[in-house]
Amino acid sequence: MTQPDSYTPRTVLVTGGAGFIGSNFVRTAIEEQRFTGGIVVLDNLTYAGNLENLADLKDAFAFVHGDICDADLVRKTLEDHAVDTVVHFAAESHVDRSILGPLVFTRTNVLGTHVLLEASRQRDIGKFIHVSTDEVYGSLGPDGAFTENTPIAPTSPYSASKAASDLIVQAYAKTFGFPAVITRCSNNYGPFQFPEKLIPLMITNAVRDLPLPVYGDGLNVRDWIHTTDHTRAILAVLARGVPGEVYNIGGLNEWTNIDIVRLVLRLLGKPESLITHVKDRLAHDRRYAIDPSKIRADLGWEPLIAFEDGMRQTVDWYLARQEWWTRVMTGEYQDYYKKQYFSR
């Protein structure tokens, strides 16, 4: 066991703070009054970023509308707001989009992370949390789980870009003693998730009696965790995570995709006849499973939200917030949906 650190952030830059997980982090940190110097959100509001996610809290944080690849803007933001801590969520995050258009993934996830790191190093940032992903480990066979020592072996342009940024962060920690900590979490679910991802896509299609497109045989396995439990894990890593270390985050909650889809249908009272098997995703990782022993033992974190409760809350949220998901699904998303699903 590595001795836990003790760190008190003052002013925290949250990149990607108006996306799904970033906005949950900002919300939780504000509600729990975590940072005495406040929060600055830097986000260029892609299709996946939406300030409406934080509309009720708009006076409780500073917002900078901009791109993490813009070195001058990043430098100025760190300086103007006297930022001492960075939590880096901003990314292109959807595997299917990385198959349709990979280059923006390298730009944002690799170049953007590098620009942010370099600007942070030059400012002597006290702690930098890099939000990586379990996808950097690639695909598992039927047994075992990813530990922090599992070799990095990504398979999609998305996971390769996350792996590249993860390795650059490690290089900064090793070469410069830069105080970065890496987290690698499993699949998140919860309110405000963009409806391109499995669970909200299935909920929003089922509500409208549209087909539920299951890739391949539906037996791929994902390890699900509520986004608020992920946020709590990042807060624990921020306070006590050891610089240079990697922490896996997961809830020991493996499900096949088909069982997830059946659960959504059961919670909505919709028939299984809506399920449609479609052509498989290219290089579709068969199974992810996280071994969270290290964060549990070293930092005392554990998930608090039981999956059935979290899923019930999530389904209820999408039922109550139909105006949110109809709005985010207009325009660009309709083009994406046609490309992704209509020729499958």
Q: Provide the binding-site residues for ligand TDX, judged by CB under 6 A.
A: 93-95, 133, 135, 187, 197-198, 201, 213-215, 220, 222, 257, 281
Nearer to ligand NAD, 48 or 299 (CB): 48
Residues 190 and 178: their CA atoms lie apart, in Å, by 33
Closest approach of Cβ 99 to ligand NAD, in Å?
A: 16
The pairing of strands 85-88 and 62-65 is unpaired
Catalytic status, residue 43: no
Query: β-strands 180-185, 187-189: how paired?
Result: unpaired
Residue 95 binds which entry of ligand TDX, ligand NAD, none, CB below 5-8 Å type-dependent: ligand TDX
Residue 89 engages ligand NAD in binding (rule: CB under 6 A): yes
Q: Which helix (H) or strand (E) holds 129?
A: strand 127-133
CA distance 175 to 6: 23
Longest dimension (CA), the chain: 57
- To ligand TDX, the closest distance from the beta carbon of 116 in angstroms equals 18
| Marked catalytic residue, from 134, 196, 223, 298 | 134
Burial of 242-256, coded b for 16+ CB within 10 Å and e otherwise, reads bebbbbbbbbebbbb
Residue 137 binding ligand NAD, by CB under 6 A: no
Give yes or no for residue 18 binding ligand NAD (CB under 6 A): yes
Q: Which of 206, 224, 222 is nearest to 272 (CA)?
A: 206
Query: Which candidate in 135, 223, 245, 291 is catalytic?
Result: 135
Q: Does residue 131 interact with ligand NAD by CB under 6 A?
A: yes
The burial of 152, by beta-carbon neighbours within 10 Å (0-12 exposed, 13-18 middle, 19 or more buried), is given as: middle
Give yes or no for residue 198 binding ligand NAD (CB under 6 A). no
CB atoms within 10 A of CB 309: 11
Coil, strand, or helix at residue 186?
coil
Whether 247 is a known active-site residue: answer no
User: Catalytic site residue 135?
Assistant: yes
Residue 45 binds to ligand NAD (criterion: CB under 6 A): yes
**Binding residues for ligand NAD (CB under 6 A):** 15-16, 18-22, 43-46, 48-49, 67-69, 89-93, 108, 112, 131, 133, 162, 185, 187-188, 194
Known catalytic residues?
134-135, 158
